[in-house]
Amino acid sequence: MHFQGMGPQDQYYDEQYSYNYNPNHIKQLLKLCKKHRNQHVTVHLLSGKVYDGFLEFSDEQNIFVALPLVEAEQQNEVRNTDGVTSYNLERYRVPLASIAAITPYMYY
């Protein structure tokens, strides 16, 4: 499956890479990605960064995560008449080998 139409929002994880090429770890991550596809997840990277977003798609080398982008001036602005504030999604492609863990986002 080719991920088309991402355009300028298609960003690549471009920090200094920390990779884990353990095939068993990659297989476990692929199982988690299949289980939690289209769900809100927390992605923990080997570099120590943590991202909360929606797991949109995964292939054999990358995952595609949509992160909610809420700007400071948008936080207090109500955009709809029903009182719901909307936000944009920023899409990222992250190499599987740079991921330490993927966990479902916990709602309280």
Across the chain, mean pLDDT equals 77
Question: Which residue in 95, 101, 104 sits closest to 41, CA to CA?
Answer: 104
Using the predicted structure, report yes or no on whether residue 9 has a pLDDT greater than 70: no
Q: How far is CA 4 from CA 7, 24, 30, 90, 91, in A?
A: 8, 30, 21, 15, 12
- Mean of the pLDDT values across residues 4-17? 46
Phi (first) and psi of residue 79, to 5 degrees: -95, -30
Tens digits of residue pLDDT in 25-57: 889 999 999 999 999 999 999 889 999 999 999
Q: Which two tokens stand for residue 89?
A: 């999604």
Confidence of residue 88 (pLDDT cuts 50, 70, 90): confident
pTM: 0.67
DSSP assignment of 9-45: G-EE--S-------HHHHHHHHHHHHHTTTSEEEEEE
What's residue 53's pLDDT? 92
Q: What is the pLDDT of residue 108?
A: 67
pLDDT confidence band for 87 (50 / 70 / 90): confident
Alpha-carbon distance of 80 to 83, in angstroms, equals: 6
Domain 17-69+84-104, CATH number (from 2.30.30.100, 3.30.930.10, 1.10.940.10, 2.70.70.10): 2.30.30.100
